Chain A
Amino acid sequence: MTTELAEKSVAADTGSMMIEVHRLTKQYGDFRALDTVDLSIRKGEFVTLLGPSGSGKSTLLNLISGMTSPTSGRVVINGVDATDMPTNKRGLGMVFQNYALMPHMTVFENIAFPLQVRGMKKAEIETRVAEVLKLIQLENVANRRPRALSGGQQQRISLARCIVYNPSIILMDEPLGALDKKLREDMQLEIKRLHAELGVTMLYVTHDQDEALTMSDRIVLMRNGRIEQQGSPETLYFKPDTVFSADFIGSSNLFQGRLEGEGDTVTLTAGKDRLAVELRSEAAVGPGDEAVVLIRPENLHIADGAIPEGTNVVTATLLDTVVLGGVVRHFLRTEDGRQLVAQVLNRSDRARPKRGAPVQLYWQVGESRLLKADPTFSKQ
């Protein structure tokens, strides 16, 4: 009775959209938690909703799951308009941050629950549950209560409970938020593995950018109830469209100032520094406009002898150096008080500059990115 969507999805051809959201809006009083959002997710895709707290990630997820109903807009799941469909008819799977395992049921009963809902026979249920327990490598806890398991084990059980009935779409709202770092990294890999093995469509919410970068085929960056930018992790990291995206994903060095000059390469004046930047038509800024230039820490080099051609050079003082295993991060400050970060590979044969020493920093003009200035956004 409840699997109409799940069954249809098997027949659906690959490449079709599993989730389509059209001009979806959710209003709470005067406040727009979600503002005319359009989003399409292909079958088998791993899409992450990333954004600061309150940006509308959970709201979007809950509108797709049907736990809240939209103020306006449509939700289409696997080609069927599901906007007014009750949650239990949508054929979805969902994993919660606090696991949401039934405390009065054993692990076996928890995982068997969705199968019983589907009217599966007892023997078949036993086989299926044993299968998924094996898949998540927790065969020996079937008769325990969730409370007798660790956080990581509980989250794996809740994953198992979700995949056991083969939903074609799995929604996850910060599923690893309650776990410590090491466990979280293990679970990220486990979820990636399950995703690859099952070919399921995933919509994953996190506010952890590293998690988004490691796991996703596509990141949808949200801000104030709208989609700020979406694209592959590489796109969001190397080709952010806005200052907000640049700042939210990865660390960034930003110089803001007015553009001057003519031709493809113009000059941006930021404080005492005059920086050469390449114009980009998509940035929609030109001479006379306020703009921002972004340099990623790994593209900001500390001069060690001659400075190559085609670079911008700024002078700064080294404040601190942090060794992060394979890479070293240098924290610097320019004369006009701008904080910068440079990142280099850790090499034992190379001497590092001393703290407090003045250094020359340079970057290739082509490795910086010009962005439109955002008056509503200031880096703190």
Chain B
Amino acid sequence: MSSGDSYLSKRAGGMLIAPLFVLLLVFFVYPLLLTVWQSVYENGFTTRPYEELLTSTLFAKVLRTTFDISFTATMVSLFVGYPVALHLSRQPPGRRVFYLMLVMLPFWTSILVKSFALTVLLGHAGIVNQILGYLSGDTLHVTMVFNRFGAIVGMINYLLPFMILSILGSLLAQDPNLARAAQVMGAGAFRIFRKITLPLSMPGVIGGVIINFTLSIGMYITPALLGGRKDMMVANLVDFYTRQTLDWPLAAAIAVVLLVISGVLVALLGRVRGGSGTMGAMA
């Protein structure tokens, strides 16, 4: 009897996700396959785009820049996000919900809007520079946009919620009695953090780092709007080949390379999560 029930519910479940499945098939899987196809087919099967990529100094440079920027942004996001997550984990649940909303606020705002807002804040005549100018008697002006700094600030703004949620998840999953037990045994706050809280939050840290890095290497709008001319990211290179040189196979090949890197990272993430089993709740 129960097997009949579960069969029915499986069927019903299958029908409920069918529209989404079709949607993904048409607008996600099909274009993806098309991209892969385009990267290996020009009037016949070819490996030309990949060979070009292997030898292209531009691609190597852009890939390098992308990794550099992504790594920096991820690390800053980690060091800014960890204390925030730690603070959140120690709040009473009611207040934590409120703080979490503040954390999520940029997450719910369009990237475009955020990027323009940041130009207003950090630009040459922006609020920060006005204050700096006022304080220094008009001698100090720092260029904070249209360079790597700007790109990274913009990216972090987007990345932080992912980092904080991931870390918070593994902080909240910890048994509060562990810290209490350590306290009774004589351990001070710093030792408890270093020996218990921090190591037990590592799945969240690693998860957050992988998510952030994966998101970073594919970023397009933020670095385009806030970054410098010289700091081209891989996604912008794809744009360059599709619109400037019209070399679509090459652009497709770059997209495929990016996809493979992201795929590997996401697979890694799955392992971290599967292994710890503590994170699902939050992130």
Contact = CB atoms under 8 A, between A and B. Distances in A.
B178 A117 contact: no
B195 A113 contact: yes
Interface string B193-225: 001100110000000000000000000000000
Nearest to B181: A100
B184 A92 contact: yes
A86 B185 CA distance: 12
Contact of A98 (B177, B185, B186): B177
Contacts, number: 62
Contact of B180 (A3, A67, A161): A67
Kindly state the interface size class of chain A when it binds its partner: 20 to 34
- Count chain B CB atoms within 10 A of each CB in A65, A92, A113 and give the residue with the most: A113
A96 B195 CA distance: 19
Contact of B178 (A2, A90, A92, A102): A102
B187 A88 contact: yes
B177 A96 contact: yes
A363 interface: no
A103 interface: yes
- Count chain A CB atoms within 10 A of each CB in B181, B187, B191 and give the residue with the most: B181
B175 interface: yes
Contact of A2 (B180, B186, B195): B186
A321 interface: no
A355 interface: no
Contacts of B191: 117
A165 interface: yes
B185 A100 contact: no
A65 B178 contact: no
A92 B180 CA distance: 12
Interface string A90-104: 111110101010111
Interface string A127-156: 000000000000000000000000000000
Nearest to A164: B185
B175 to A, nearest CB: 7
A285 to B, nearest CB: 45
A71 interface: no
A87 interface: yes
A148 to B, nearest CB: 16
Nearest to B195: A113
Interface string A101-118: 011100000000110011
B47 interface: no
A67 B185 contact: no
A87 B177 contact: no
A165 B175 contact: no
Interface string B87-121: 00000000000000000000000000000000000
Contact of A87 (B175, B178, B184): B184
B186 A114 contact: yes
B184 A113 contact: no
Given A102-B196, A104-B200, A117 B180 contact: no
A117 B184 contact: no
Nearest to A170: B184
10 contacts: A3-B186, A67-B184, A88-B183, A90-B184, A96-B177, A98-B177, A100-B180, A102-B195, A117-B185, A165-B186
Interface of A: 1-3, 65-67, 86-94, 96, 98, 100, 102-104, 113-114, 117-118, 161, 165, 171
